[in-house]
Amino acid sequence: MIGLIGGTGTKSILDNYDTIETKTIDTKYGKSLEISIIEVESKKVAYMPRHSKGHSVPPHKINYRANIEALDMLGVNKVFATNAVGSLDTNIKPGDILIADNFIDFTHGRNNTFFDEEVVHIDATKPFCDDLRSNLTSSGDVHPYGVYISTQGPRFETKAEIDFYRLIGGKVVGMTLTPEVILAREKQMCYASVCVISNYAASISPTKLTISEVSEAMDEASERLINLIASAIKKTDTDYVCECQSILDDAII
């Protein structure tokens, strides 16, 4: 099954499809969020709202392990995730969509691995699935690559932080990619991030950042986002086995 993790402002994805059934799964890490099984392009898709119903869970409090474990228990092996992000580049405008190809993690204190009781070192050179990324970049007008800077939140970043993130090669900044992408990789899932530019980051924007600005940009991009994901899902072969699904072969000591 294909998994779809919806971030800020993506309730419209669920509104566009009929729900076949709804599940909430108990895992050893706690109860997962409500998962809706929907049909997209004749394929069953497990849709999970990352922030729970009503966007009630802040990024640093999300139970990422329970969510990824639940998708794994459902048999999900390929995951598309949406992320609302700020742009660090004036050429990447609010309303644009970027398909991240790498990340730098500045979060802290999050449960970022399933391997607390054994020594496992997974390869994270290319954290995103090439196959899923290709399906996305060939499905619409997107920025085909860019480094995602992952921050702790829930506050927006300072000017000094943004200056630093730009200096080290960041293109977008957000609060929810990690540890989600690494946990999915530990479960040997294919994973790709669809970054919707909701605003320019602090100091790049001419005005103070507001959450209403984020919501408005997400609303404007919603139709293109839905079409992009639907097209990518149509191209995704759930039976195709790529190197993501054997990442643990040489990782366990």
- Tell me the per-residue pLDDT of 151-178, one tens digit each, with 9 for 90 and over: 999 998 999 999 999 999 999 999 999 9
Band (pLDDT 50/70/90 cuts) for residue 10 is: low
Six-digit token pair at 109? 């204190």
Kindly report the pTM of this predicted structure: 0.93
Q: What are the tens digits of pLDDT across the range 31-83?
A: 888 899 999 988 999 999 987 676 668 899 999 999 999 999 999 999 999 99
pLDDT surpassing 90 at residue 148: yes
| 78-87 and 2-6 beta bridge pairing | parallel
Band (pLDDT 50/70/90 cuts) for residue 210 is: low
Map out the domains of the chain with their CATH numbers.
2-246 (3.40.50.1580)
Q: Does 12 or 104 have the greater pLDDT score?
A: 104
Q: Where are the alpha helices (DSSP H) in the chain?
A: 11-15, 64-73, 130-137, 159-167, 180-186, 211-235
Six-digit token pair at 239? 């039976």
Q: Does 40 or 13 have the greater pLDDT score?
A: 40
Q: Does 16 or 5 have the greater pLDDT score?
A: 5
Computed from CA positions of residues 211, 217, 223, 227, in that sequence, does the dihedral angle turn out positive or negative?
negative
Mean pLDDT over 210-216 rounds to: 69
Please say whether the beta carbons of 136 and 206 come within 8 A.
no
Tell me which residue of 151, 183, 243, 251 sits closest to 3, measured CA to CA. Answer: 183
Q: What is the pLDDT of residue 251?
A: 75
Tally of residues, the chain: 253
Q: What is the pLDDT of residue 221?
A: 81
The percent of residues above 70 in pLDDT, for the chain, comes to 92
